[in-house]
Structure 1
Amino acid sequence: MTPAINAAKKGKVKYALHEYSHDPAAASYGEEAADALGMEYGRVFKTLLVEINGDNRKLAVGVVPVSGQLDLKAMASALKAKKVAMANPADAERATGYVVGGISPLGQKKRLPMVIDSSAEKYDAICMSAGRRGLEIEMSAVDLMKLTGAILAPIGR
């Protein structure tokens, strides 16, 4: 069990787990997951961390489809910040307790501000990392918001 799965269990939400054989040579963790699970790229989401206003101690989480990228200006706007920049991978791992490629929005060490791309509303359920490479968790965006305190905003491009 990962902290992400434990968070879903504890929150008593409906979820499904999907496991696949992770290829260390994969160019994109998210696209690898979508391909392995036979899901469209827009329905599989990646978890990205940003630093707020140039402070690597102030981090936030963006959850966007693997089919696109995080729009940093839109993310800053959603967080009501002047600017955001991608966080250093080591800072992201330290703050979440997960390794890059397996960072889940669920069960992170510290509760960070979180924004989920509004495209998640189009789906009954979305997939995201369950806390390690090769393991995805599927649930509704509403349940993900309930468990994490996240907001929805158009942060993907």
Structure 2
Amino acid sequence: MNTNLNLASEKLGNYLSKTQARIATAESCTGGWLAECITEIAGSSAWFDRGFITYSNASKIDMLNVQSKAIEKFGAVSAEVASEMTQGTLQNSLADYAISITGVAGPTGGSAEKPVGTVYIAWQKRFQPAQVTLKYFSGSRQEIRRQAVYTALNLIPFKDK
């Protein structure tokens, strides 16, 4: 694992361990990379509850209760869907916190409105509203996905910096 990803995962793990909180993930364009980074840390079974890889729209609907109306109206790559993904993650887990990532990693699939590199990252603490961040990354598919994971690990406002 990349050192920067490892360090960010360790910081998150230290916070969750210290506060005895658990986290769960929901990933689309990153395909489980966020969960892999988190579970790479020794002892993560104490604070990582589960991860959902919801690459297809059907899986977002079936596993995370994302409303098909939200996907139809805003698209799978949207703040609304990212927010619903974290809500669904919390509804379907024992976690205290949820992180979701949905985006266009490329090299195809982008549009003028949502070009390749468009990524929404949401995080939510149970019983609080989701917070969503929009990022535009550049580079190859792998580079976009890595930047999304790194950003997700570092945007979470509840962890020690």
TM-score of the aligned structures, taking structure 1 as reference length: 0.33
- Relative to its length, the structure with more strand (as a share) is 1
Relative contact order higher in (CA < 8 Å, ≥ 6 apart): 1
Give the TM-score normalised by the residue count of structure 2: 0.33
More helix by share: 2
